[in-house]
């Protein structure tokens, strides 16, 4: 059993209260507060969810309901890095499943999609909204990597294994007129 003290720092409480202040109903701050808790603890244990509820002063059931609804909130311990490859229609048509297969083989993923070194977790994602740059993936609920290739996957994995940041990609627009 982990001996984690489930508390927020004064700076984290201030950040959460700033979210609470933005909304007429404090329950609206639950998502950013859960995000802050997940960033701090790595996942949302029942104790972390209770901490969020107490900090915002809303019912635990409401916080738990939000945390359990969205896939971006982890309800169990997970590896540090999550790679979600889109396999929805556009990505499916241009190689998403093949990129998923290659990635799983490259990291020697187990049946749950966890790499042999335990640092990376892989899963399929429904549409991530970047159909024009398919196949693509999302890295730990943050960065997108577009126009996936085996080379891009290897580079991404090695950076993640070494805890290096994945840079944002600048995607050229095909139609510059939309910027005018």
Both structure tokens of 1: 């059993």
Residue where one domain finishes, among candidates 69, 89, 115: 69
In a domain, 168, yes or no: no
Same domain, yes or no, for 50 and 88? no
d(CA 135, CA 96): 5
31 within 8 A of 66, measured Cβ to Cβ: yes
Global pTM?
Answer: 0.78
91 within 8 A of 53, measured Cβ to Cβ: no
- Identify the CATH number of the domain in which residue 118 sits: 3.40.30.10
In a domain, 118, yes or no: yes
Q: Give the burial class of 87: count Cβ atoms within 10 A of its Cβ; 0-12 exposed, 13-18 middle, 19 or more buried.
A: buried
Same domain, yes or no, for 152 and 103? yes
In a domain, 138, yes or no: yes
Q: Encode the chain (180 residues) as per-residue pLDDT tens digits.
A: 468 899 999 999 999 999 999 999 999 999 999 999 999 999 999 999 999 999 999 999 999 999 999 988 999 998 999 999 999 999 999 999 999 999 999 999 999 999 999 999 999 998 988 999 999 999 988 889 999 999 999 999 999 999 898 877 776 666 554 454
């Amino acid at each position: 059993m982990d001996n984690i003290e489930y508390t927020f720092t004064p700076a984290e409480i201030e950040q959460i209260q700033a979210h609470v202040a933005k909304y007429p109903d404090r329950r609206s701050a639950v998502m950013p507060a859960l995000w802050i808790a997940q960033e701090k603890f790595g996942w949302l244990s029942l104790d972390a969810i209770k901490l969020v509820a107490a900090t915002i002063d809303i019912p635990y059931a409401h916080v738990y309901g939000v945390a359990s609804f969205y896939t971006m909130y982890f309800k169990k311990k997970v590896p540090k890095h999550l790679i979600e490859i889109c396999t929805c229609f556009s990505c499916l048509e241009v190689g998403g499943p093949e990129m998923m297969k290659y990635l799983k083989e490259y990291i020697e993923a187990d049946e749950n999609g966890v790499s042999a070194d335990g640092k990376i977790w892989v899963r399929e994602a429904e549409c991530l909204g970047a159909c024009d740059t398919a196949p693509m993936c999302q890295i730990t609920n943050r960065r997108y990597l577009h126009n996936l290739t085996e080379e891009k996957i290897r580079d991404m994995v090695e950076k993640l294994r070494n805890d290096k940041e994945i840079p944002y990609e600048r995607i050229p627009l095909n139609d510059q007129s939309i910027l005018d």
